[in-house]
């Protein structure tokens, strides 16, 4: 739009993408959000020093802070968002629920008041009836929320939720509502100007979640019929009019299996997933926010808003999906390639090659948005984009995201907020490939082995084609991976490899360049994408296939025979050691040296990326030593407590 911008940043973000893209950038403090991104005084100083005329708050931090907006108004600076009053009304879950009722919006049954302490939480939970949802009165984004099935859950949930809410929002007030089982999370996007005009831009389905945080969203929802969609939209508009709302906003609902819907909360800001609404409506929401903040009336009418096709957003996080569907991962992105060369793919990201994922902030890497004329096309494009997305340096959740997109119930649209727990009751274990797929993967790895062998015979600085000794044309190998161990014969035929496994022939064509991060091959006339993570001198190929990493061992027949005599390294007993499962900050220590702990007893809490993880003893014993104190920053696998 040609508007000059000033970026604010904390010390760890000095090389961040938004800092590089802005016309000016000013550091506002150290890593801790309270000393930087939540430091109103520092931000107001930047406003004054740079003579900024307006502030766009983004998605988090001060985007829903009424006091901040009030201060900006006193400064004569425009806040690109709603009024302080609207933010305050909707930022308090209890007050927002009362206002929603007054506007004729369906609400969830629950306690109409603030919880005083853990005992009060248990008392109220019993009155409402288990299961209940304990959640922060301020804030959102899945922080400060716990489901309680009994008194013990309620007491512990209140404690953890209060601490998370205080850390994230500076407000530890809690409320209790009835937990609606197997609901869908569906939200309505709204736009309102300062002249009383309000429209809705239909819905987004956000039911695929882990720890109450969305990871896959789609628009429109396959579940809603036109009658329900219209009713939800009308109630969202009614709420906006009730509070004199202006700007972009989102009214969130829980929807049961009978399409009954209940008000959850209103986010008085731009949503992370706003891009999918833009894709299906053609409306640029940020552009509209800026126009509204300037005082322009909406040019759009409700009848101008329609749905064109389908869009899916997959949130790519720096986290390990094999541990509780996503434990945060930190590190530097030493290789990073977004699949933006594909048609109908949009990547909203603040990352580039060399970017650092720190433990202080949300671990999102990219919002991968794919769209098409049908839901099927949007899903297929998403899968292809994930296969071509290169991320090296941190663990990431693409394996889980890709697997969800191929899961039968997701394809049918049969989903709810407990989708992950129902689909993966034992936790996510990676892509479960068929025997045929294992054979194909074996053939690909064997062809890589043969190609690597040919390349290793080339003389450096020699004329093209000169090799050491006779150039081989076939290889007899043994391939091991998963539960498979098969003899494999590889033959070089013209520009292809022919691989024979148990009498079945796989013909592999394509540019096999093991220096490339992504290899697009044709296997028996079918397109196949593989990423080569690494290879070593003993024939281990780490390959990403259908999103999941597989370690495939390719050996000569002689090496395979001799490998049976190699002893396995004995496993070390670590039951008496409590180590940090992730990088973070020690929030609390619940034991003392000399104290006896039992199996399952909590010994400490690690806080990382706004998420608290309680660590428990896996064996009984006396505490021998404690290597950390509250406030210490720890790395993954650091030893925190030792037992004897």
Contact (CB, 8 A) for 218 and 205: yes
Task: Give the total residue count for the chain.
Answer: 644
Q: Which residues contact 106 (CB under 8 A, 6 or more apart)?
A: 235, 253, 260, 261, 262, 263
**What whole-number distance in Å separates Cα of residue 338 and Cα of residue 398?**
13
- Retrieve residue 406's tokens: 């191929």
**What whole-number distance in Å separates Cα of residue 532 and Cα of residue 523?**
16
The alpha carbon dihedral of 326, 328, 334, 339 has a sign of positive
Q: Which residues contact 344 (CB under 8 A, 6 or more apart)?
A: 370, 371, 372, 377, 378, 381
Q: What angle do CA 617, 322, 623 make, to 5 degrees?
A: 10
Q: Which residues contact 48 (CB under 8 A, 6 or more apart)?
A: 75
As separate numbers, helices (DSSP H) first and strands (DSSP E) second, the chain gives 16, 37
| Nearest C-alpha neighbor of 552 from the set 567, 570, 530 | 530
**What whole-number distance in Å separates Cα of residue 217 and Cα of residue 162?**
28
**What whole-number distance in Å separates Cα of residue 404 and Cα of residue 574?**
34
Task: Read off the DSSP letter of residue 197.
Answer: -
**What whole-number distance in Å separates Cα of residue 463 and Cα of residue 466?**
6
Question: What's the chain's Rg over C-alpha atoms?
Answer: 27
- Retrieve residue 292's tokens: 């509204």
**What whole-number distance in Å separates Cα of residue 249 and Cα of residue 599?**
47
Active site residues: 269
Enclosing H/E stretch for 184: strand 184-192
**What whole-number distance in Å separates Cα of residue 531 and Cα of residue 547?**
9
| Nearest C-alpha neighbor of 203 from the set 235, 180, 177 | 235
**What whole-number distance in Å separates Cα of residue 485 and Cα of residue 474?**
20
**What whole-number distance in Å separates Cα of residue 204 and Cα of residue 232?**
12
- Specify the 3-state DSSP secondary structure of 584: strand
Enclosing H/E stretch for 266: strand 261-267
């Amino acid at each position: 739009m040609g508007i000059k911008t000033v970026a604010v940043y904390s010390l760890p973000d000095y090389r961040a993408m938004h800092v590089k893209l802005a016309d000016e950038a000013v550091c506002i403090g150290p890593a801790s959000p309270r000393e930087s991104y939540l430091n109103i005084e520092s931000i107001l100083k930047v406003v004054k020093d740079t003579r900024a005329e307006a502030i766009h708050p983004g998605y988090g931090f001060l985007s829903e802070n009424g006091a901040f907006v009030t201060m900006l108004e006193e400064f004569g600076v425009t806040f690109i968002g709603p009024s302080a009053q609207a933010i305050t009304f909707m930022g308090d879950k209890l007050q927002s629920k009362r206002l929603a009722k007054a506007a004729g919006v369906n609400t969830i049954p629950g306690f109409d008041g603030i919880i005083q302490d853990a005992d009060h939480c248990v008392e109220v939970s019993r009155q409402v009836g288990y299961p209940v949802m304990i959640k922060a009165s301020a804030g959102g984004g899945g922080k400060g929320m716990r489901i309680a099935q009994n008194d013990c859950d309620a007491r512990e949930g209140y404690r953890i939720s209060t601490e998370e809410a205080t850390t994230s929002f500076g407000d530890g007030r809690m409320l209790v509502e009835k937990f609606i089982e197997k609901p869908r999370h569906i939200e309505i996007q709204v736009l309102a100007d300062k002249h009383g005009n309000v429209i809705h831009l239909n819905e987004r389905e956000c039911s695929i979640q882990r720890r109450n945080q969305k990871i896959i969203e789609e628009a429109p929802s396959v579940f809603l019929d036109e009658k329900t969609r219209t009713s939800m939209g009308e109630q969202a508009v009614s709420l906006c009019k009730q509070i004199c709302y202006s700007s972009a906003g989102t009214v969130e609902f829980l929807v049961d299996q009978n399409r009954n819907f209940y008000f959850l909360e209103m986010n008085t800001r731009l949503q992370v997933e706003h891009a999918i609404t833009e894709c299906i409506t053609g409306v640029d929401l940020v552009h509209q926010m800026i126009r509204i903040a300037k005082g322009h009336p909406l040019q759009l009418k409700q009848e101008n808003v329609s749905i064109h096709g389908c869009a899916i957003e997959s949130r790519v996080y720096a986290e390990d999906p094999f541990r509780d569907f996503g434990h945060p991962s930190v590190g530097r992105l030493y290789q990073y390639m977004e699949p933006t060369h594909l048609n109908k793919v949009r990547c909203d990201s603040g990352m580039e090659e060399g970017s650092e994922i720190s433990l202080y902030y949300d671990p999102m890497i990219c919002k991968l948005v794919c769209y098409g004329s049908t839901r099927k096309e949007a899903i297929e494009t998403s899968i292809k984009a994930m296969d071509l997305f290169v991320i090296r340096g941190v663990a990431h959740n693409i394996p889980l995201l890709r697997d969800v997109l191929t899961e039968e119930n997701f394809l049918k649209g049969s989903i709810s907020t407990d989708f992950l727990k129902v689909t993966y009751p034992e936790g996510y274990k990676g892509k479960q490939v068929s025997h045929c797929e294992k054979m194909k993967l074996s053939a690909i790895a064997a062809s890589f082995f043969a190609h690597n062998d040919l390349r290793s015979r080339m003389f450096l600085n020699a004329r093209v084609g000169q090799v050491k000794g006779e150039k081989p044309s076939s290889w007899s190998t043994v391939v091991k991976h998963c539960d498979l161990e098969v003899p494999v014969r590889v033959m070089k035929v013209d520009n292809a490899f022919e691989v024979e496994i148990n009498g079945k022939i796989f013909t592999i064509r394509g540019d096999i360049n093991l220096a490339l991060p992504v290899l697009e091959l044709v296997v028996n006339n079918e397109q196949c994408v593989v990423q080569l993570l690494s290879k070593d001198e003993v024939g281990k190929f780490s390959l990403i296939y259908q999103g999941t990493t597989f370690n495939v061992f390719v050996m000569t027949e002689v090496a395979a025979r001799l490998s049976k005599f190699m002893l396995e390294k004995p496993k070390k007993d670590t039951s008496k050691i409590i180590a940090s499962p992730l990088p973070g900050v020690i929030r609390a220590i619940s034991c003392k040296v000399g104290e006896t702990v039992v199996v399952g007893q909590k010994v400490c809490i690690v806080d990382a990326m706004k998420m608290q993880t309680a660590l428990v003893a896996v064996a009984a014993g006396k505490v021998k030593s404690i290597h950390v104190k509250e406030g210490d920053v720890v790395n993954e696998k650091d030893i925190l407590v030792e037992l004897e």
